[in-house]
Structure 1
C-alpha cells in the first residue's frame, strides 16, 4: 500500500508519518518511509529541495518552482517509492504530487488544469492508495513551527522562498488540500491536529490505516472531528476574557506544555506572571524568552532569577530595555551569552550600551556588534560598519542599518544590494527614503512578507497602497499597522477582519482600549470564541492596554515589543 501524508508546514505530518511507520513495523508490516526522520531518502531529491528553498533565488518563477518540485517527487518515486512497492512493502511519503498542486495551484495561483497533466507524467500513473491530510489551524501551525525552531535552537531571521510570500500562502494551500479531499473522499482521510493529544492522534491514525490494510471499510473521512461548542456555553466577552484564556491555557498545558508557555509570550499582568512562575523551573528558556517586551518589575525580577539557567534567552528578552537594571544584567550575562547580549542592544545608544560594544570589539566580536547596531546613526556606529565592510560582513552591515534614515545610510544600502537584497530590505523598517521605496517596488512580487513588514508605522500614501494591495493575499499587511490609530489603519483592520482575525487583533497591541478596539475584539470573540490564537491575541491586547493605562504617561512606549507570531 502507498500512503501519503499531506498538510501545511507545521501541521505535524512529518511527526505523525514517522510515528505511523514505527508503529506499523512493530505490528509486523514491512514499511519504507520515503522521508524517514524528516529527511528525503533520495540524495538527488534533497539537493533539489535545497534549491527550491533558497531565498536568494528571488527570480525563480512559480512555474520553475513547480517543475523542480515535480523533479524532486519523480526522483523519490523512482528511487524509493516504486522499489518499495515492488517489494510488497507499505510505502509512506511525507508530501507527494498533491503538494505541488496545492502549492503551485492553490498557493501561487497557477491554473490547476495546466498543472495536472504534468503531475500525471511525473507520477507514471502511480498515485497513493490512501492520503492522510493532517489539518490544522494555520495560526496554530505557525506557533508550533516557531516553537519547534526555538526548542531545537534553530532560531534565524531567514525565510524560505515560501516564507517570503507571507502567511497567506499557508491559508491558500490548506484550502486547496481540503478541496482535493472533498472531491475524493474514498482516497483521503482528514486528521485534525488542533486540540487532541499526540498519543490519541497516533492511535486513531493507526486504527484507520490498519483498517485499510486489512480491507475493512473506512466509515468516516474526518477521523478526529472538530469539537462542537456546548449549546449552553456563555459567550466570550472582554469581561470574561481573562478567565476563558487561562482556562484554555490549562487545557493546552495538559497536552502541549511547551506551547502553553509560549502562548504567554509578551503578556503583562499579575495573572500571566503567576503562570510564568509555575512554568519557570520546567521551561526556563521558553519562560525567559517569552518576557521580551515586558518592562514591569516582576518580569525583571524573574529575569534575574533565570539568568544562570537560561542566559541567552534572558539576554534576548532585554531587547528594547535601556534602564540601569537591564544594563547591569547585560554586564552579568555577557560572558555566558555575548551574541544575544549584543543583539539586545538594538536602538540603544546609551553609554552602557556603547561600553559593551567597545568591549566586544576588543574581544573580536564585530559581527555580533553589528547585529545589535540597529537604529544607531552616530559616528561610532559608522566606524563599526566600515570595519564590517572591510571584513565583507555584508549581511550583518545591512542588518545594522535597520531603521537608520538619511543619505549616508541609503548610499551604503545601494552598495550592499548586490550582496544581500533581503537584508537590505529588512533594514528599511519604518523608513520612507528613495532606496526604501525603490526596493519595495522591485521586491513586492518576490518578497511580499518582508516588503509589508518594512512598512511598520509608516503613514505615507505609498505605504497604504502597498498594504491595501497586499492585505487580500497575506496577513503581514495588518502586521504593519501595529499600534496605529488612524482612519486608514482601522479601515484596513475591519475590511480584512474575516480573513486575518488574529492579526487584526495583534495589531491593536499598544493602543488604549477605546470604543473601536473594544468593538473589534468583541466581534472576533463572538465569531470565534474558542479558537486558541484568537483568545491569546485578544487577551494580550487587553492585558497590554490595562498595563499601559496604569503607567505614568511619560513611560508609555508603543510598538517596541517583539511581535508574537500568531
Structure 2
C-alpha cells in the first residue's frame, strides 16, 4: 500500500507520518518511509531539493521550479517508493506529486490542467492508494514552524525561495490541497491538526489506515476529532485578557511549548504567573518570551534562568538597553558571546563598545557586525571595513540596518552583487535609492522581504506596493506595525477579513482609542475562535495598558504643575 502525507509547511505531516510508520511497524507491518525523520531517502532527490530551496536563485521561474520538483519526486519513486512496493511493504511518503500541483497551480498561479500531463509522466502511473491531508490554520502552522526553528536552534536560518514569497503562499496552497481532496474523496482523508492532542490524532490516523489495510470501508473522508466547546459569548476588548489566558491554559495541556511561546513579549502579571509555572519544564522558551520586557519580574526570571539557558536569556533581552541589561550581557558573554554581541543593535554606549572590543579579540567578528545595525560612529566603520576584507558580506550588509547616510548607501551598492537579500533587509524603514531599486527588482521573487522592508515608510510608492502586496500575502500588513496614518487604517480595514491576525498585530504600540477598539472588536467578533487572533489582540491591549500605566506619573505631575502632558518634551 502506498500512503502519502500532504499539507502546508508547519501542518505536522512529517511528525504524523513518522508516528504512523512507527505504529505500523509495531503492529507487524513491513514499512518503508521515503522521508524518514524528515529527510529524503534518495541522495539525488536531496540535492535537487537544495537547489529548489536556494534563496539566491530568485530568478527561477515557477515552471523551472515545477520540473525540478517533479525530478525530485520521480527520483524518489524510482529509488525508494517503487522498490518498497515491489517488496510488498507499506510505503509512506511525506509529499508527492500532489504537492507540485498545489504549489505550482494554487500557490504560483499556473493552470492545473497544464501541469497534470507532466505529473502523469513523472508518476509512471503510480499514485498513492491513500492520501492523508494534514489540514491546519495557516496562522497556527506559522507559529508552530517558528517555534520549531527556535527549539532546533535554526531561528536565524535564511528563508527558502518558497518562504520569500510570503505567508500568503501557504493560504493558497492549502486551498489547492482542499480542492484536490474534494475531487477525490475515496482516496483522500483529511486530518485536522488545530486543537487536538497529538496522541488523539495519532490514534485516529492509525485506526483509519489499518481499516484500509484490512480492506474495511472508510465511512468518512474527514477525520474530525470532537470539537473543543467554544467559550460562551463573543470576545470583546474588555474581556480579551480572560479569554486569551483561558485559551493558553487549555493549549498547555496538549502543546505546552506553544503555550509558552505565545507569551512572547506580553507584559503583565497574568503572563508572568504562567511563565513561572513553565520555567522549570521549558526554561529556554520562558527566557525568550521575556523579549523586550523591562519590569522587575522579568529581571528576576532572567537572573534565575541565566545559568541554565544563557543563550535564550541573551536572545530574550531584545532591544532592552537599561543599566540592568548591560550588567546581564557582561555576565552572559562568557557562555553566550554570539547572542550577546548580536543583541547590541542600535547601541552606541561605552558599555556596548567594551563588549564589542572583547568580541573582536575573541574572534567573533560576524556576531559583532550583526550587532552593529543602527550604529554609525567611526568605530563601527572600522569594523565594517575589516568585515569586508574577510568577505563577511552578509553580516556587513545587515550591520547597515537603519542607516541612510551616503556612506551606508555606497557600501550597500558594493554589497549587492554579494548578497542582495541581506542588503534589502538593511533598508527596512528607509526610502533611499538603493532601497527603492531593490524593492522594484525583487518584488516578484522576494515579496515577503520587500514588504517588510517598508515598515514605517510613509510614501505614495510604499503605499502602492503595500496595496498590491496585500492581495496575496500578509506581510503588507506587517509593514504598517504601529503606524497611525489614514492610509494605514484604510489598509487594515480592507485586509481585516483576509489577514485578521496580522491586521491585529499591526496595531501593537497604538493607544486604545476609538479607532483601535472598533477594529479590534470587529475582528474579534468575526474570528474569535482563532488562537493567533486572540493572542495578537491581547498583545495589543496589554501593551497599550502598560504604556498608559507608565505614562500616569508623568501625567499626574503635569496636572500638578498645570502643564500639558503632551507638550512636556517640547
TM-score using structure 1 length: 0.96
Q: Which residue of 1 aligns with 2:233?
A: 234
Structure 1's unaligned 5+ residue stretches are: 557-566
Deviation at 1:522, TM superposition (A): 1.0
Correspondence 1:399-438 to 2 at 5 A? 399-438=398-437
Q: Which residue of 2 aligns with 1:482?
A: 481
Q: Which residue of 2 aligns with 1:560?
A: none
Q: Which moved more, 1:217-226 or 1:382-391?
A: 217-226
Deviation at 1:320, TM superposition (A): 1.1
Deviation at 1:297, TM superposition (A): 2.5
The answer to whether structure 1 residue 122 and structure 2 residue 112 are counterparts is: no
Cα distance between partner residues in 1 of 2:356 and 2:142: 34
Q: Which residue of 2 aligns with 1:95?
A: 95
Deviation at 1:233, TM superposition (A): 2.1
Deviation at 1:226, TM superposition (A): 7.2
Maintained 8 Å contact 2:195/2:228:
no
Q: Which residue of 2 aligns with 1:13?
A: 13
Q: CA RMSD in A?
A: 1.4
Deviation at 1:392, TM superposition (A): 0.9
CA offsets per residue over residues 201-238 of structure 1, 9 Å max, x none? 001000000111111111111112572755x9211112
Q: Which residue of 2 aligns with 1:132?
A: 132
Maintained 8 Å contact 2:500/2:527:
no
**Does the residue aligned with 1:415 lie in a helix, a strand or coil?**
helix
The answer to whether structure 1 residue 182 and structure 2 residue 198 are counterparts is: no
Q: Which residue of 2 aligns with 1:347?
A: 346
**Does the residue aligned with 1:530 lie in a helix, a strand or coil?**
coil
Q: Which residue of 1 aligns with 2:527?
A: 528
C-alpha change, 1:418 and 1:180, in structure 2 (3 Å) is same
C-alpha change, 1:353 and 1:296, in structure 2 (3 Å) is same
Cα distance between partner residues in 2 of 1:165 and 1:58: 10
Q: Which moved more, 1:221-230 or 1:368-377?
A: 221-230
Deviation at 1:3, TM superposition (A): 0.6
Cα distance between partner residues in 1 of 2:439 and 2:23: 50
Deviation at 1:80, TM superposition (A): 1.0
Cα distance between partner residues in 2 of 1:215 and 1:162: 39
Cα distance between partner residues in 2 of 1:154 and 1:391: 24
Cα distance between partner residues in 1 of 2:229 and 2:504: 22
Maintained 8 Å contact 1:322/1:350:
no
**Does the residue aligned with 2:238 lie in a helix, a strand or coil?**
coil
Q: Which residue of 2 aligns with 1:153?
A: 153
**Does the residue aligned with 2:330 lie in a helix, a strand or coil?**
helix
CA offsets per residue over residues 348-399 of structure 1, 9 Å max, x none? 1112111111222222221111010000111111111011011111111001
Cα distance between partner residues in 1 of 2:86 and 2:553: 73
Cα distance between partner residues in 1 of 2:283 and 2:84: 45
Maintained 8 Å contact 1:317/1:344:
no
Q: How many residues align?
A: 555
Q: Which moved more, 1:234-243 or 1:492-501?
A: 234-243
Structure 2's unaligned 5+ residue stretches are: 556-570
Correspondence 1:157-306 to 2 at 5 A? 157-225=157-225, 227=227, 233-306=232-305
Q: Which residue of 1 aligns with 2:566?
A: none
Deviation at 1:155, TM superposition (A): 1.9
Cα distance between partner residues in 2 of 1:382 and 1:226: 60
The answer to whether structure 1 residue 541 and structure 2 residue 526 are counterparts is: no
Cα distance between partner residues in 1 of 2:351 and 2:106: 51
Cα distance between partner residues in 2 of 1:430 and 1:390: 28
Deviation at 1:528, TM superposition (A): 1.7
Cα distance between partner residues in 2 of 1:377 and 1:555: 32
Maintained 8 Å contact 1:319/1:346:
no
Q: Which residue of 2 aligns with 1:311?
A: 310
CA offsets per residue over residues 180-216 of structure 1, 9 Å max, x none? 1111111101000111111110010000001111111
Q: Which residue of 2 aligns with 1:562?
A: none
Deviation at 1:400, TM superposition (A): 0.4
The answer to whether structure 1 residue 44 and structure 2 residue 44 are counterparts is: yes
